[in-house]
Structure 1
Amino acid sequence: MVNQLPATLHYIYDPMCGWCYGAAPLVQAAAQLPGLTLQLHGGGMFAGSARRPVTPELQAYVAPHDRRIAALSGQPFGSAYTEGLLKDLGAVLDSGPPITAILAAQQLGGAQQGLAMLGRIQQAHYVQGRRVAEAEVLQTLALAQGLEAEAFATAFQALSGPATLAHLAASRQLMQAARVQGFPNLVLERADGRLQSLELSRFHGQPAPWADYLRGTLQADVTPA
């Protein structure tokens, strides 16, 4: 008999990252494993000065990547997104407000609520083609998740601006410490503080083999009881 040492799985993501959407089933599978604490770290790919309006050039760049993500992961991209949002020249891609909403959900209900909010934001963006940078849309998603309206609005307001920027800065520091770039990234932190970047790309669309790989990784440091 062996004891599995406790570990933390750091998920470095961006809600506007298509590959993060493709990896969503893998992250959900990881979140179900016992003995593993999940922590979410928003990256801010399109936050602040990096926010981007939708343009024909952006659509032309994003579309082939989305098709590849769909083919590898099986994640659906709805026509409201491909033929709607990506052609809506009044829309803006801004990671900041969605990350704030995820932080608010997490504050109200822990990492699982934060992960659930990320999933709702991804579905709203990539399937329903909604403008998820708008506070009204995020409030609607929070209500659909079962979060209390006033509590979410209060948390969202408190976490907007400087608090979200501080979170993004901390995420970048973690990426430097783990020596990883881009999104998504999953970094396993052992009980002794060691950081290990986990391979994701070869498991797209394969949550069960991914879970087996992660279990094996978690058991690498077990000792006899």
Structure 2
Amino acid sequence: MTDHAQNPPHAHETTPAPKLTYVFDAYCGWCYGFEAAFGDFARSRADSAAIEVISGGLFVGSRVGPIGAFTGLHAANERITALTGAQFGPAFRDLVDDGEFVLDSTDAARGFAAVRAQAPHRSVEIAQALQSAFYLQGASLSDARTYRAVADRVGLDGGRAEAEAFTDASSAAAEADFARASNWGVRGFPTVVLEVPGRAPVAIGSATSTADELRAELDGYLGVSSQAGRP
């Protein structure tokens, strides 16, 4: 016999971690402005929450069209810079001035899914690299070579990313992303969805939230939820 007390059955059980899903669109300027704050926030909460990035689908269907059809972009981007500090590169500004570049979020979502498949746990970093390719370098997200460059930039397999950018598998992954966003009722980007076991999903933050504001909102919400069910 032993005099060691046995642990109760629940001693090693842990509460499931909250999950944060960042719904973005690679062609969304406000998402580009938000990426630095969200990246800081995500790194600081990586050990306490499951975090992923999915595509929401901004320019799809009838909204696919030339960038010149969306008037006032320079002014909108100046506002994004003023509120978030994000900088837009000369190559991107040239695309806006020319007006012919076609915004197609389905292609962007497919390519993003192809790179993300190599390292799902690095989806925040991959999304940032993808948006930098467009907003700083003016790269087309309908060009498979862009995904080679993005993958190379973050230390993944560029050749694989280029080959898989527009496959049936990447298309299916993009459509699954769109469906998840739609099921949550997401209509604008960026949106961060917080899921806590036993509670309904809730959106936190806004396009101009700082990392500190996101942390405070998340911690405050989790503090409230931890009291649920207590007298």
Question: Which of 81, 89, 93 is residue 103 of structure 2 equivalent to?
Answer: 93
1:222 equivalenced with 2:226 (yes/no)? yes
Q: 2:27 aligns with which of 3, 13, 16?
A: 16
Shift of 1:20: 0.8
Coordinate RMSD, CA, aligned: 2.3
Q: Is 2:197 aligned against 1:188?
A: no
TM-score normalised by L of structure 2: 0.80
- Are the counterparts in 1 of residues 91 and 138 from structure 2 also a CA contact under 8 Å? yes
Q: CA deviation at 1:16?
A: 0.8
Q: Counterpart of 1:211?
A: 215
Q: Give me the whole-angstrom Cα distance separating, in 1, the residues matched to 2:78 and 2:180.
A: 32
CA shift, 1:75, in A, is 0.7
Q: Is the contact between residue 95 and residue 101 of structure 2 (CA under 8 Å) also seen in structure 1?
A: yes
Q: Does 1:40 align with 2:63?
A: no
Percent of matched pairs sharing the same residue: 26
Q: 1:67 to 1:162 in 2, by over 3 A?
A: same
Q: Following the alignment from structure 1 to structure 2, what is the Cα–Cα distance between the partners of residues 210 and 7?
A: 14
Check conservation: 2:146, 2:162, Cα contact below 8 A.
no
* 2:25–2:57 CA contact under 8 A, matched in 1: yes
How many residues align? The count is: 211
* Bigger relative CO (Cα 8 Å, ≥ 6 apart): 1
Q: Which residue is equivalent to 1:69?
A: 80
Structure 2 unpaired stretches of 5+: 1-13
Task: Describe the SS at the equivalent of 1:10.
Answer: strand
User: Which amino acid is the alignment partner of residue 182 of structure 1?
Assistant: G
Which residue, 156, 160, 166 being the options, matches 1:147? 156
- Relative to the length of structure 1, the TM-score reads 0.82
> Distance in 1 between the 2:187 and 2:61 partners?
19
SS at match of 2:59: coil
- Structure 1 residue runs of 5 or longer lacking an equivalent are none
Deviations 1:75-134 (A, max 9, x none): 11122212x11123442111122212221222211132x222211111111122222221
- The structure whose residues are more often helix, as a share, is 1
3-state SS of 2:193 partner:
strand
Contact 1:4 1:35 in 2 (8 A): no
Q: One-letter code of the match for 2:216? A: D
Comparing 139-148 with 14-23, which one deviates more in the overlay? 139-148
Cα displacement (A) at 1:15: 0.8
Partner amino acid, structure 2, of 1:136: R
User: Partners in 2 of 1:102 and 1:111 — Cα distance?
Assistant: 13
- Which is further off, 16-25 or 102-111? 102-111
C-alpha separation in 2, matches of 1:222 and 1:185: 23
For the residues of structure 2 that align with 1:40 and 1:122, how far apart are their CA atoms?
13
CA–CA distance in structure 2, aligned partners of residues 104 and 193 of structure 1:
32
**Deviation at residue 5 of structure 1 after TM alignment:** 6.0
Q: Could you tell me how far 1:222 is from its partner in structure 2?
A: 3.1
Q: Which residue of 1 aligns with 2:124?
A: 115
Kindly provide the amino acid, as one letter, of the partner of residue 94 in structure 1: D
